[in-house]
Chains A and B, each alone.
Chain A
Amino acid sequence: MKSIKHVFPFFILILTLSIIGFIPNLYYLHLFNLILIYSIFSLGLNILTGYTGITSFGHAGFFALGAYATAILSTRYGVPPILSIFFASFLTAIAGFIIGLPVIRISGIYLAMVTLGSAEFIRLLALNWDSLTGGAIGISNIPALSILGCYFKSESSLFFFLYAMLIISTFIFVRITNSRFGKSLIAIKDDEQAAESIGIPCAKNKLISFFISGFYSGLSGALYAHFDRFIHPATFTFSLSVLVLCMVILGGMGTVFGSILGAIVIVILLEYLQPLGVYRLFVYGMILTIMISYFPQGLIGILKEVSGHFRKNKFKNTI
């Protein structure tokens, strides 16, 4: 009974937010769809950076892998998008596992560099392997999403699909992070030696979190490919890795809703500041720097602190 009470507000929230799907302005809908995709992507980075404490500078590589896998499968071999998305995510998860293998030997900055190097490598592969990836011309006319002959071509139907995907993936994400396994990841982040000494298999758990992270990132990349229906190596540069890192940090590392909040704020901010021209990127860079050096707990952390502050005051007043 208690659990239903606990879940009920979320249920209401989910229903209320689905109203967004009926917004007539296609541009806003497009932005919301982008936010949904980036939310899944930043969840993917969050399990690695926020929970396990492994910083990755190469998540654009996973995103690219997911996008290219589904694009090639669905355009070349006519695999139905819904299957190819699933396949692409799984493939990326395996790639995440492989790229994560060095975790056994190295950590910290060195590991971050491996992820950076592999992401660049994937991008170069996409750029130079013309026969498979279309090279510098990119892949266009990627089929729209469809389930059993029902197409998600319009922005608003796509919104509901992506929204459902985000809810499912967030639900699974919460289940993972609340499980014993999820708690062990946080233990690894806080103190790896201590975690090892109480019997947590650190290397194994880190690899699993790489796998999950790869899955989420690949899923978002694959969804992105069917959403924009055009992919090109120029999309998957280092700056995309920085963008998603910025979302995670801004929202708050190690919080589920932080990732989603980060995606919302960054996408809307960057679009809203368009009229400012190049100054927009100044704001973006400053956010990244100031957040990490002054508010490492992120927006969620700030909100908590502020609400805690008020609560304390209330408490004082009652006395």
Chain B
Amino acid sequence: MIFFEQIISGLVVGSIYSLLGLGFTMIFACTKRINFCHGELMALGGFVGLVFIEIFPSCLFLSFVVGPLTIGLIAVIIERLFLRRLQEDKPLKIVIATIGLSVVLSVVMQIIWGAHPKTYPNFISEKPFSFIGVKIIPQNLFIFLISISLMIILQYFFLYTKTGRALRALSQDRYAARLMGIKVGQNISLVYFISGILAGIAGMLITPIYFVSSSIGSFLGLKAFIAAVIGGLGSVPGTIAGGFFLGIVESLSSGFISSKYKSGISLLFLVLVLLFSPKGLLSIFHKVNLLKWRKSKNEKY
């Protein structure tokens, strides 16, 4: 019984890791780079959401649209100003630049909104409901559903739309993609825009249950990143699976071993996965991957 409770509490945390991890995956899938300030963008999303909810107190939906869009724009600006020059360079340079940006962003947030964490009430009712003996608050279920549906939308976008295909081509060979008439710069901006929107959505959803502060970004961002790497950075289903996997591992290890070793155990998993299957746990199943199947189908024609 307690085992199931722990699993479900793991899924609750895992859905947050998945939601955040999607942003990392989005950028990695298309540009083979990592945006380390994604966590800070998420925190910024929470703060911006706070501002918009104060501006439009009556229309929650509006702030839920405008907030993430703002973060998307900020992500594009960051990309244009600081990262564009590095896109052709070694992948790690962008990582270093975004680490610098994450410091800058968290300081900016502290200057604007102060050092104290902030929060706003849940969108849906605060009242928890019972599921196999575990009390779950609706907000958590909402986050769970949103991560799953975002996964489906993103997967559809990557596999079946023209833009999605262009982005995939970009990730495989930028030079060839350019020859095929794909506008590389524009598409990279688009990727950053989408990942910014994802960060904004995550920030707005997480704020009521975890609070938002200038320091939450680096912490949650790192966790989500680890989750995405474990599951398979660059693969949308892999990221979701990795998020849930890390959530369950954490909750089981703090439930049955000790919460002191929680982070240690997840780091151990990270290193093991990187060593033995750098493309993530889900790459083991890649033989039945949709992408490959489609590729072979295309080759026939």
B271: nearest residue on chain A (CB-CB)? A117
Minimal beta-carbon separation of B116 from chain A (angstroms): 14
Report how far A287 CA is from B103 CA in the complex, Å.
Answer: 11
Restricting to B136-179, which residues have a CB under 8 Å from any CB of A?
none
Collect the chain A residues with CB atoms within 8 Å of residue B59's CB.
Answer: none
Collect the chain B residues with CB atoms within 8 Å of residue A293's CB.
Answer: 82-83, 85-86, 93, 97
* Residue from B90, B111, B263, B271 within 8 A of A114 (CB atoms): B271
Restricting to B97-136, which residues have a CB under 8 Å from any CB of A?
97-104, 107-108, 110-111
* Residue from B108, B110, B278 within 8 A of A110 (CB atoms): B278
Report how far A289 CA is from B82 CA in the complex, Å.
Answer: 7
Collect the chain A residues with CB atoms within 8 Å of residue B110's CB.
Answer: 278
Question: Are A121 and B267 in touch, CB under 8 angstroms?
Answer: yes
Report how far A44 CA is from B85 CA in the complex, Å.
Answer: 28
Collect the chain B residues with CB atoms within 8 Å of residue A120's CB.
Answer: 263, 267
Question: Are A294 and B85 in touch, CB under 8 angstroms?
Answer: yes
* Residue from A55, A125, A246 within 8 A of B95 (CB atoms): A55
Q: Is A186 part of the contact surface with B, judged by Cβ < 8 Å?
A: no
Minimal beta-carbon separation of B221 from chain A (angstroms): 11
Classify chain B's interface size.
35 or more
Known: A120-B263, A285-B104, A294-B85. A112 touches B97 (CB 8 A): no
* Residue from A106, A117, A287 within 8 A of B100 (CB atoms): A287
Q: Is B57 part of the contact surface with A, judged by Cβ < 8 Å?
A: no
Report how far A113 CA is from B278 CA in the complex, Å.
Answer: 10
Restricting to A239-278, which residues have a CB under 8 Å from any CB of B?
242, 245-246, 249, 278
Minimal beta-carbon separation of B96 from chain A (angstroms): 5
Beta-carbon contacts of B260-277 to A below 8 Å, as 1s and 0s? 110110011011001100
Question: Are A285 and B102 in touch, CB under 8 angstroms?
Answer: yes
Collect the chain A residues with CB atoms within 8 Å of residue B218's CB.
Answer: 238
Where chain A touches its partner, the secondary structure class is helix
Collect the chain B residues with CB atoms within 8 Å of residue A286's CB.
Answer: 100, 104
Beta-carbon contacts of B274-296 to A below 8 Å, as 1s and 0s? 11001000000000000000000
Q: Is B62 part of the contact surface with A, judged by Cβ < 8 Å?
A: no
* Residue from A105, A113, A114, A289 within 8 A of B101 (CB atoms): A289
Beta-carbon contacts of B238-277 to A below 8 Å, as 1s and 0s? 0000000000000000000000110110011011001100
Question: Are A292 and B86 in touch, CB under 8 angstroms?
Answer: yes
Question: Are B97 and A292 in touch, CB under 8 angstroms?
Answer: yes
Question: Are B100 and A288 in touch, CB under 8 angstroms?
Answer: yes
Interface centre among A109, A284, A287, A288 (most CB of B within 10 A): A109
Report how far A287 CA is from B261 CA in the complex, Å.
Answer: 36
Question: Are B274 and A288 in touch, CB under 8 angstroms?
Answer: no
Report how far A285 CA is from B92 CA in the complex, Å.
Answer: 17
Question: Are B278 and A106 in touch, CB under 8 angstroms?
Answer: yes
Report how far A292 CA is from B86 CA in the complex, Å.
Answer: 8
Collect the chain B residues with CB atoms within 8 Å of residue A306's CB.
Answer: none
A101: nearest residue on chain B (CB-CB)? B275
Classify chain A's interface size.
35 or more
Collect the chain B residues with CB atoms within 8 Å of residue A292's CB.
Answer: 86, 93, 96-97, 100
Known: A108-B92, A296-B89. A285 touches B107 (CB 8 A): yes
Known: A109-B34, A112-B95, A293-B83. A117 touches B270 (CB 8 A): yes
Q: Is A124 part of the contact surface with B, judged by Cβ < 8 Å?
A: yes
Q: Is B229 part of the contact surface with A, judged by Cβ < 8 Å?
A: yes
Report how far A109 CA is from B271 CA in the complex, Å.
Answer: 13
Collect the chain A residues with CB atoms within 8 Å of residue B103's CB.
Answer: 242, 281-282, 284-285, 288
Collect the chain B residues with CB atoms within 8 Å of residue A125's CB.
Answer: 264
Collect the chain B residues with CB atoms within 8 Å of residue A289's CB.
Answer: 82, 97-98, 100-101, 104
Minimal beta-carbon separation of A84 from chain B (angstroms): 26
Restricting to A273-319, which residues have a CB under 8 Å from any CB of B?
278-279, 281-282, 284-290, 292-294, 296
12 additional contacts, CB 8 Å, given A114-B275, A124-B264, A290-B100? A113-B229, A114-B274, A120-B267, A238-B218, A242-B103, A282-B107, A286-B104, A288-B103, A289-B97, A289-B100, A292-B86, A296-B89
Binding site for B on A (CB under 8 A): 53, 55, 102, 105-106, 108-110, 112-114, 117-118, 120-121, 124-125, 128, 238, 242, 245-246, 249, 278-279, 281-282, 284-290, 292-294, 296
- 25 A-B residue pairs with Cβ-Cβ distance under 8 Å, sorted by A, are A55-B92, A106-B275, A109-B92, A110-B274, A113-B270, A121-B267, A125-B264, A242-B99, A246-B100, A249-B96, A278-B111, A279-B107, A282-B107, A285-B103, A286-B100, A288-B96, A288-B97, A288-B99, A288-B100, A289-B98, A289-B101, A290-B100, A292-B93, A293-B93, A293-B97
